[in-house]
Structure 1
Amino acid sequence: MTYKGYLIDLDGTIYLGNQSIDAGKRFVDRLKEKNIPFLFVTNNTTKTPEAVKNRLHDSFDIDVSDETIYTASLATVDYMKDKGLGNRVYVIGEEGLKEAIFSSGFILDEENPDYVVVALDTDLTYEKLAVATLAIQKGAHFIGTNPDKNIPTDRGLMPGAGSLIASIETSTQTSAAYIGKPEAVMMEKALDRLKLNKNDVMMVGDNYETDIRAGIDNDIDTLLVLTGFTKKEDIPTLPISPTQVINSLDEWQV
């Protein structure tokens, strides 16, 4: 089947931590050459789309525009705007998430926020967890930007946002509303940005739990590439098979 567009994961698919995946660059180059629209759909909330674009250029020699990058931070803002509970928010996260939220008209409130948003935060402290826990106990709407348990890096699998969110779910006995892959919120907004129907698009990624489930759960065809989180030995045990499985993006013809 020929697809009119692609939703593409970044970490583990286009690069691995600080290490280039050369087949990822060649895949993007083929899409650009054929004028096939694509959107990088990433659960990474630590960087702004501009920072992601610059990193792709400076570290991996991939030239794209800001408009090709849709982060869980942007999806979280879209979700809060749709929810319409107010504009006060407490955030556990890094600069990419905070800039997306506060530049969109939301204001910081540690005492009585309408929302508590939790994402990856490499400067996490007990006090941040305590503030979030108390706010949720008072009734703030609890948002987890993405469920990633781990992040694939050149050091190995590091703790992801899902690990932090799980600790607050435990302390509050409250389940978070998840935004990023594999949730419908992020996928529907991504399709809106591509201006394509789900039947015309393929989701490409390395992580079965997030990327591939994002496709499966939302009726989008999937391409699992074995360059990151999910390994070849995992394939026989997967509950629902991806549409396609490849070792390298060099194997995929667009």
Structure 2
Amino acid sequence: MEALRNKNAFVCDMDGVIYHGNRLLPGVPEFINWLQMSNKKFLFLTNSSERSPRELHEKMKRLGVSVGEEHFYTSALATAAFLADQCQGGSVFVIGEAGLINALYDVGFSMNDTNPDYVVVGETRSYSYEKLERACQHIHNGAKLIGTNPDVTGPSEKGIIPATGALMAPLEMATGAKAYFVGKPNPLMMRNALKKLEARREETAIVGDRMDTDIIAGIESEIETVLVLSGVTQKSDLARFAYQPDWILDGVGDLVPPSG
């Protein structure tokens, strides 16, 4: 554990690692205090595209923890950066929330319900058959299909709920299109995180609760991996995977030294 604690940078997932919905998980205040007091570089890297860094900062503040906006990076920001590089000044039809829409606006994209270049899907609570119908029409007319992340489910204080991968499935089935997902485990997301942290992979660890996104992202990026059992993955699930994390902890509080 000492070698892990001596890492200079930590990339942490949020849902299932820091909180469940609006409930802060045990050990999180101590973990964040340790990161700050130890002058660690750290970034909360979330596949969720619902909220902006400012909204995540405000949410953490409401939960009793103060973390600057610069410490948050979302799949919405990664998706917007990817699309801006692919099609500068393009247009999109979005099934998603304000965090995704604002990220796309910020890189010069416009909303378009007539002939968009892309259909972009993220987490949303305003999912409807009407939106699916419009998205299918756009895809059949040539719009490319983009997902902010491939997560099929996510944790909440009410239990496991559908995520972007589940919302995307009807569109893929109805159109025959294959979505391109920008969020974890796409290496783009990890490279963006390391650039934002100004950290080398050798001095960094990734902490997450999902084998199929967080842990595989770390393995494929050659970053040390820490699986926490506070989210969607249980120890009994590990046998299903052909790869394993470097560390398995109950929660992020276990990273804090006993004296810390």
2:107 aligns with 104
Q: Would the aligned equivalents of 1:115 and 1:143 in 2 still touch at CA under 8 Å?
A: yes
1:37 has 2:79 as partner:
no
1:220 aligns with 223
Distance in 1 separating the partners of 2:61 and 2:26: 13
Residue-pair matches, total: 253
2:242 aligns with 239
Q: Would the aligned equivalents of 1:57 and 1:63 in 2 still touch at CA under 8 Å?
A: yes
Distance in 1 separating the partners of 2:215 and 2:185: 8
2:69 aligns with 66
2:135 aligns with 132
Residue 43 of structure 1 aligns with an amino acid whose one-letter code is: N
Distance in 2 separating the partners of 1:88 and 1:22: 42
Distance in 1 separating the partners of 2:210 and 2:28: 15
1:25 aligns with 29
1:144 aligns with 147
2:61 aligns with 57
1:155 has 2:158 as partner:
yes
Report the Cα offset of residue 250 of structure 1: 2.4
| Cα deviation code 1:131-187 (max 9, x no counterpart) | 111111221121100011111012111111110111111111011110111111211
Distance in 2 separating the partners of 1:126 and 1:115: 19
SS at match of 2:185: coil
Distance in 1 separating the partners of 2:46 and 2:30: 19
TM (normalized to structure 1)? 0.95
Q: Would the aligned equivalents of 2:84 and 2:107 in 1 still touch at CA under 8 Å?
A: no
Of the three residues 187, 197, 200, the one matched with 2:200 is 197
Report the Cα offset of residue 73 of structure 1: 0.6
Residue 120 of structure 2 aligns with an amino acid whose one-letter code is: V
Distance in 2 separating the partners of 1:248 and 1:125: 36
Structure 2 alignment gaps of length 5 or more:
none
2:17 aligns with 13
| Cα deviation code 1:100-120 (max 9, x no counterpart) | 111321111112111111111
Residue 83 of structure 2 aligns with an amino acid whose one-letter code is: M
Q: Would the aligned equivalents of 1:86 and 1:114 in 2 still touch at CA under 8 Å?
A: no
Residue 166 of structure 2 aligns with an amino acid whose one-letter code is: S
Distance in 2 separating the partners of 1:187 and 1:47: 19
Distance in 1 separating the partners of 2:89 and 2:54: 27
Report the Cα offset of residue 205 of structure 1: 0.8
Instruction: Name segments (4+ residues, structure 1) moved above 6 Å.
Output: none
Q: State percent identity of aligned pairs.
A: 36
Report the Cα offset of residue 7 of structure 1: 0.5
Structure 1 alignment gaps of length 5 or more:
none
Q: Would the aligned equivalents of 1:42 and 1:71 in 2 still touch at CA under 8 Å?
A: yes
Distance in 2 separating the partners of 1:204 and 1:252: 10
Residue 135 of structure 1 aligns with an amino acid whose one-letter code is: H
Distance in 1 separating the partners of 2:51 and 2:59: 10
Q: Would the aligned equivalents of 2:30 and 2:256 in 1 still touch at CA under 8 Å?
A: no
> RMSD over aligned Cα, in angstroms?
1.3
Residue 134 of structure 1 aligns with an amino acid whose one-letter code is: Q
1:95 has 2:118 as partner:
no
